[in-house]
């Protein structure tokens, strides 16, 4: 009798998990992604049921050493890291708290990287810095960006400068 009860409980659990998987897949299929451009700034927005649930913003930097890096690297160090003039700076990525841990940030970041690569950009930079109280911790944030090829360039206390060249 106990064996049957255990098997029934396991079966109920498996059915419940399968239903959750189906619902999650249906929800994921309802996410919409839209790209907008304003001069050198590109935003990709995720929405669900016509509500903004997250976005990633990038900016194309030209001759960026003097504006972004002169207090971080020597000009020689900078030229070694970024030999080309144009750099894509990932300004920020933000996800509504209710939609975190559903793969939206990964999808947004992947779309941004794919979009910029298709446009011929090969150099990327970001400043990994936790936002608010509900964001990822710094180490987790750095690990998130490493999935896209970013490497740590410099730790600066509460943030990490990261970059990648393709």
Count the neighbouring beta carbons within 10 Å of the beta carbon of residue 48: 18
Question: Which comes out higher in pLDDT, residue 94 or 1?
Answer: 94
Is pTM beyond 0.85 here?
A: no
149 in the Ramachandran plot: left (φ > 0), alpha (ψ -120 to 50) or beta?
left
Domains of the chain: 2-165 (3.40.630.30)
49-70, pLDDT tens digit by residue? 899 999 999 999 998 888 889 8
């Amino acid at each position: 009798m106990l064996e049957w009860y255990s098997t029934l409980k396991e079966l109920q659990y498996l059915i419940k998990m399968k239903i959750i998987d189906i619902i999650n897949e249906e929800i994921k299929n309802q996410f919409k992604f839209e790209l907008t451009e304003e001069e050198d700034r590109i935003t990709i927005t995720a929405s669900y049921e016509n509500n903004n649930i997250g976005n990633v913003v990038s900016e194309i930097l030209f001759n960026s050493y003097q504006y972004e890096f002169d207090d971080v690297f020597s000009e020689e160090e900078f030229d070694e890291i970024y030999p080309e003039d144009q750099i894509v700076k990932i300004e920020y990525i933000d996800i509504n708290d209710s939609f975190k841990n559903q793969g939206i940030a990964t999808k947004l970041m992947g779309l941004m990287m794919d979009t910029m690569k298709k446009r011929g950009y090969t150099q990327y930079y970001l400043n990994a810095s936790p936002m608010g109280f509900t964001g990822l911790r710094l180490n987790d944030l750095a690990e998130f960006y490493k999935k896209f090829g970013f490497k740590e360039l410099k730790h600066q206390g509460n943030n990490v400068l990261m970059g990648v060249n393709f």
